[in-house]
Structures are given as structure tokens and as C-alpha cells.
Structure 1
């Protein structure tokens, strides 16, 4: 019985000593995961940086509200002119000639005007 215990102790100590000299597979795996994570973070940073640059180039830095107001007032004056001509009894073709708009646009304005009444 003593021989078995001594034999088991010798085997245990020898396996313990051998374990220090073997390569740790988990360390390699951990290192690979860290490298993958770092490269992923770098890629994300570069993509976000490129997107920001593209957004700055594509989007105007200052949006003029006055331009939108002018366009809206022009459209509203054309709509008013079309409605006035329609009330006076002009046809869509005649209104189209006077306002230089397509007949389709005239008809859509007239249909909207008719729905509002």
C-alpha cells in the first residue's frame, strides 16, 4: 500500500513538473481572440471615420431656409394662379400654356383644389 501511495505521488509530481513545460493552448487562443478584437475595433474606427468624411462631403454645411421659403412661395403662387384660372373657366390645356406647367401638374392641382372644396 505504501508503494502505491509513493508511486502515485511520484507520478503526480512528475505530471505537475511536466505541465510547466507544455505549451498553454488557452494562452494562444486568448492571444488570437485579442488580436481579432483589436483588428475589429480598428476596422470599425476606420469605417466610422470614412462615413463621417463622406457625410461631411455630401451634406451641405449650411442649409438655407430662405431658399426653401422662396421655393415654397413660388409653388404656392403657381398653385394660386392655377386655381384662379380654373375658377375663371380655363381648361387644363389653356392653363398649361399660360403657366408653362405640364397638363398633368395642372390636373393634379385642380384635383387637390376640388377635394379641398
Structure 2
């Protein structure tokens, strides 16, 4: 009986030591989930940055230099553009809709939207 008791104690100590050295499957799964979570966050951040860059590129004020054939025409276009920006923003701040501003100033609706969106983007 004593031998059986001693052998059971030795067996239990061996199994206890074995359990410390055995790989924990739950910890392995936790590490994998954590790694996947980090990868997803990195991809989300990169996508957000790309989207912000794209928004910045799309909301830049329109340039009129490419329409000019020489420097004098370019200067005239710049003055006209800044005057147009001023008029559009003034009318928009007075509560006019984009369509009404485009009709009043005889400018394409897309151009008015670009100007208004550019100002809204800068205010953020």
C-alpha cells in the first residue's frame, strides 16, 4: 500500500512538471488573434490615410493657369478665379444654394461645388 501511495505521488509530480512544459494552445490562439487584429488595424490606418490623401487631391482649388496660352492671360484668369471664389463664397455664406449660385454667376455647377467643398475641407 505504501508503494502504491509513493508511486501515485511520483506520477502526480511527473504529470505536474509535464503540464508546465506543455505548449498552451489557448495562448497560441490568443497570439494569432492579436496578430490578426494588429494587421487589420494597420490596414485600416493605411486605407484611411490613402482616402484622406485622395480627398485632399480632389478638393484642391481649381487652377486656371493650364487654360492660359501666355502669362498675361494667366494673370487675367487668376484674378478672375479669385474674384469668382470670393463671389461664390459670399453668395454661399448668404444661404444661396449651389445651383442658384451657378445660375447667377453663369458658372458650371461642378466648379461651384469644388469651391464650396474646398472651403468646407479647410474648415475641418
TM-score (norm 1): 0.50
Highest RCO, 1 vs 2 (Cα 8 Å, sep ≥ 6): 2
Larger Rg: 1
